[in-house]
């Protein structure tokens, strides 16, 4: 029998009976739960979060959202959404000169390892054009000239309008304004080449070497108007030595950046990320 795979993500004030109510609702409609995760911020009065993935016969999907709103969503005061696992998210990637994170995402996408559709790549430099078009992905150059950032952001926002559900900054070395983030209206994920909150901003590997750190890392986070302070999605580290030059740290760090960014993007595309205050829950 043919079945569809759907996901349900909810948040609500915590109270007894939420999991039972959701499970019963799905069972009564012939759904089969294949995965369910939940988190309560504070037992006995916190905020409740849940992600479940389930299969259901196509004929039983009609009216599912409306029925859920009446039976579960409204009585429990929930924020909730259903998504279809077959409807992949559209990704636009922004990059500057470095290609390691960009190429890694394109490679995973081409091999079918990234459940998403990369719709375009935009850059403030032309150097990545041949690399990107070699993957069959449209490339757009949007220069950011000194004193003309607002104009460049306007051009970029117009280019992205209606083309993506997620923007990924694959070492895009430009600070995005709050106005731009509001205009594009979709989540933005950045990879920062440091184990935040250490060494935010530019030149983190240089500053890490100056401080003699024994670990360097990378951080994938959602972008907000505050530089490198958005909710952290994923991090990883690698050991270093006093013998390592800055160039060595850059090379070592590139491997961590690739994997951390790929994990964060994959989790977002699978609806595994929920924000709680300034934290990200990973289900």
Q: 97: closest CA among 189, 171, 176, 206?
A: 171
Q: Is the dihedral of CA 133, 224, 237, 239 positive or negative?
A: positive
Task: Reply yes or no on whether 228 is catalytic.
Answer: yes
Q: Which residues contact 212 (CB under 8 A, 6 or more apart)?
A: 242
Q: How is residue 231 written in tokens?
A: 């909710």
User: Out of 228, 236, 244, 277, which one is annotated catalytic?
Assistant: 228
User: Beta partners for 121?
Assistant: 93, 139
Q: Active-site positions? A: 228
């Amino acid at each position: 029998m043919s079945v569809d795979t759907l996901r349900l993500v909810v948040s609500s004030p915590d109270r007894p009976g939420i999991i039972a109510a959701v499970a019963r609702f799905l069972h009564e409609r012939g759904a089969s739960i294949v995965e369910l995760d939940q988190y309560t911020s504070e037992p006995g009065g916190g905020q409740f979060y849940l992600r479940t993935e389930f299969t259901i016969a196509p004929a039983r999907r009609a009216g599912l959202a409306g029925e859920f709103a009446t039976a579960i969503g409204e009585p429990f005061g929930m924020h909730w959404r259903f998504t279809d696992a077959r409807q992949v998210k559209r990704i636009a990637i922004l990059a500057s000169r470095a290609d390691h994170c960009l190429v890694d995402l394109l490679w995973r996408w081409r091999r079918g390892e990234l459940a998403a559709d990369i719709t375009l790549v935009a850059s403030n430099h032309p150097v990545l054009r041949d690399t990107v078009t070699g993957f069959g992905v449209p490339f757009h150059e949007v220069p950011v000239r000194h004193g003309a950032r607002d104009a460049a952001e306007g051009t970029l926002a117009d280019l992205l309008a209606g083309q993506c559900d997620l923007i990924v900054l694959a070492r895009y070395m430009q600070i995005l304004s709050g106005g731009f983030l509001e205009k594009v209206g979709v989540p933005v994920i950045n990879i920062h080449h440091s184990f935040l909150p250490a060494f935010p901003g530019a030149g983190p590997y240089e500053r890490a070497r100056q401080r003699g750190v024994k670990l360097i890392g990378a951080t994938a986070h959602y972008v907000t108007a505050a530089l490198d302070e958005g909710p952290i999605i994923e991090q990883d580290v690698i050991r270093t030595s006093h013998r390592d030059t800055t160039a060595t740290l850059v090379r070592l760090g590139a491997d961590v950046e690739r994997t951390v960014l790929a994990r964060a993007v994959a989790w977002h595309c699978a609806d595994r990320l929920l924000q709680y205050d300034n934290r990200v829950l990973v289900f």
